Amino acid sequence: MRVDQYLPGFAPHDAIGNHTLTARRILRDAGYESDIWAEHILSPLETEARHYTQDAPGGDRVLLFHTSTSSAMSQWIKDRAVRGERVITDYHNITPGRYFLRWEPHIADAMEDARTELAMLAPFAQFSMADSAYNEAELRELGYVNTMVCNLLVDLEEYHRVPDKALLDRLPRRGMRWLFVGRVAPNKCQHDVVGAFAVYRRLYDPYARLTLVGGATSPRYRLAIERLAGELELGDSLEMVGSVSDAELLAYWAAADVFVCMSEHEGFCVPVLEAMELGVPVVAYNSTAVPETLAGAGVLVDDKDPLTVANAVHDMDREALSAAGRKRAEHFSLQNTSKAFLEAVESFLA
Amino acid sequence: MANDLYSPDDLYVAKVRLSLSRLGVPGPDLEGALGGLRAAARFDVDVPTASPRREVQLVKTGVKRVSGWYLRYLADQLSGFGGALVNWADALAAKTQILQGEVDEVAVRLQALETRVARLEAGRQPGGDEREDAAQ
């Protein structure tokens, strides 16, 4: 019996890429044959996957398709289902195109295409997994019937490796250190984090610092944030460091006093989980899947007004939030999520 | 004296609010619209002639050669019109930006005043919001 995974983009340091690799290990350990097939395979993963159009082994197999972006692979998967192959989907969320319309219209179009493709596959997916109840609800809206929540597979032990010491030593120790981790994209609303930070710095802590980690999905949005920082006279208290290595990311986490997330659209939000695992208090905007992931282990704000957020950071009980976060992260341990994943796949195969 | 009306912190918070409101989703984007206008203001007369059928390609190439002088004449005028339109839009955008700056300044001061009034009102009541005092 084979369970082969298909995904449009297979990239290192990517939540879906890591999830796919872990899923393959779980499936193989459980005695299934399993390989990965992708449309775009980024270095150094060339040896881990093959292009999806290459001949796949025949016989009794299930296609597990990871959906998150627009891809020609969607039509290919549909064609396979029409020919009688069994298809499972694993939905990792698609950002609504409207967020990108102003900044990168071509991305907005791609996002809308992805949603259309997701809807197209609904009648052909015999079973569908979703990273969160929020994602599952989206699937059901699009006509998916046989669905189940199956959290993302994240190896939290990876976050306890040694951070980049040289970087950690270089980071200033004075003042409250705010951190946000995530692609620079309009739905992540880094501008709201910058605004709240500016107010916090002005009212409570002139030595506070904000680090934004993550490569830019939208260069124009990134430019707008840089301009905003200039307008608000933040100087070098704001650092946009782009993509970083795993060790560098751990250094930023180690230095962080609070993780502030103002994102308006998340299907799960892995950085919230990272923060909880590492005991960094979370202050987040109450939106989409964030409250579900956080489950009370952080401060949720319903209002993104910069003064409200700054006050929430100022008033938070750091020790209590840190402890609550660590406890909540246990729920997402790889042991728990692996078990749930395998049970979900096997419930379908049975 | 007039400056005493405004707390610098209130002014700053109002300024932050205003700056953030401009980045909200989806919002108007004058710069992006101008970019689109600039891109659309040039007319291409190099008509594609490719076709999977050879005879159709030959006909297309013939028509292109015969009508090229006319298309160029037309495109020159349209490009001139497009350029003038872009210049007009640029001037309008610059003027709008100046006006926006003035409106923003008034909005920031108004918001700071509102905050101050709210704080004074709260202060009159027992157990008024101390946080507002901290914001000063």
Q: Which of B13, B19, B135 sits opposite A228 (nearest CB)?
A: B19
Q: Which residues of A touch B116 (CB under 8 A)?
A: none
Q: How far is it, in rounded angstroms, from Cα B35 to Cα B40? A: 9
Q: Mutating which of B11, B20, B115, B130 best tests the A interface, going by the most A Cβ atoms within 10 A? A: B20
Supply φ then ψ for residue A162, to 5 degrees: -75, 125
Q: pLDDT tens-digit profile of A107-133?
A: 999 999 999 999 999 999 999 999 999
pLDDT for the residue numbered B94: 84
ipTM of the complex: 0.88
Supply φ then ψ for residue A265, to 5 degrees: -145, 110
CA-to-CA separations, A272 to A126, A195, B31, in angstroms, rounded: 31, 20, 34
Q: Which residues of A touch B23 (CB under 8 A)?
A: 191, 224, 228
Task: Taking the CA atoms of B60, B63, B68 and B74 in sequence, report the sign of the dihedral they define.
Answer: negative
Query: CA angle, A146 as apex, A343 and A95 as ends, to 5°?
Result: 95
pLDDT for the residue numbered A200: 98
pLDDT for the residue numbered B121: 87
Q: Which residues of A touch B20 (CB under 8 A)?
A: 191-192, 195, 228, 306
Does pLDDT of B1 surpass 50?
A: no
Which is nearest to A178 in space by CA: A256, A249, A241, A242? A256
Across the A/B interface, how many CB contacts are shorter than 8 Å? Answer: 49
**Where are the alpha helices (H) located in chain B, listed in sequence order?**
8-23, 30-40, 54-124, 130-134
Tokens, residue B110: 């108004």
Q: Which of B20, B26, B131 sits opposite A192 (nearest CB)?
A: B20
Q: Do A203 and B9 touch (CB under 8 A)?
A: yes
Q: What is the largest CA-CA distance in chain A?
A: 66
Q: Which residues of A touch B27 (CB under 8 A)?
A: 102
Q: Do A202 and B27 touch (CB under 8 A)?
A: no
A109: helix, coil or strand? helix
Min CA distance, A295 vs chain B (Å)? 27
Residue of A nearest to B132 (CA): A307
Tokens, residue A266: 């998340």
Q: Which of A102, A186, A232 sits opposite B19 (nearest CB)?
A: A232
Q: Note the pTM of the prediction, 2 decimals.
A: 0.83
Min CA distance, B134 vs chain A (Å)? 8
Min CA distance, B117 vs chain A (Å)? 17
Q: Which of A195, A224, A311 sits opposite B16 (nearest CB)?
A: A195
Q: pLDDT tens-digit profile of A28-49?
A: 999 999 999 999 999 999 999 9
Q: Which of A141-155, B26-40, B119-133 has the highest mean pLDDT?
A: A141-155
Q: Which residues of B touch A192 (CB under 8 A)?
A: 20
Q: How far is it, in rounded angstroms, from Cα A252 to Cα A264? A: 23
pLDDT for the residue numbered A56: 76
Q: Which residues of B touch A264 (CB under 8 A)?
A: 25
Q: Do B17 and A305 touch (CB under 8 A)?
A: yes
Q: How confident is the model at residue B29 (pLDDT cuts 50, 70, 90)?
A: low
Q: pLDDT 10s digit of each residue in chain A, 350 long?
A: 899 999 999 998 889 999 999 999 999 999 999 999 999 999 999 999 999 988 777 778 999 999 999 999 999 999 999 999 999 999 999 999 999 988 888 899 999 999 999 999 999 999 999 999 999 999 999 999 999 999 999 999 999 999 999 999 999 889 999 999 999 999 999 999 999 999 999 999 999 999 999 999 999 999 999 999 999 999 999 999 999 999 999 999 999 999 999 999 999 999 999 999 999 999 999 999 999 999 999 999 999 999 999 999 999 999 999 999 999 999 999 999 999 999 999 999 98
Q: How confident is the model at residue B27 (pLDDT cuts 50, 70, 90)?
A: low
Q: pLDDT tens-digit profile of B52-77?
A: 888 999 999 999 889 888 988 888 88
Q: pLDDT tens-digit profile of A181-236?
A: 999 999 999 999 999 999 999 999 999 999 999 999 999 999 999 999 999 999 99
Min CA distance, A210 vs chain B (Å)? 16
Which residues from B are below 8 Å from A when comparing CB atoms?
A: 9, 12-13, 15-17, 19-20, 23, 25-27, 29, 32, 131, 134-135
pLDDT for the residue numbered A305: 96
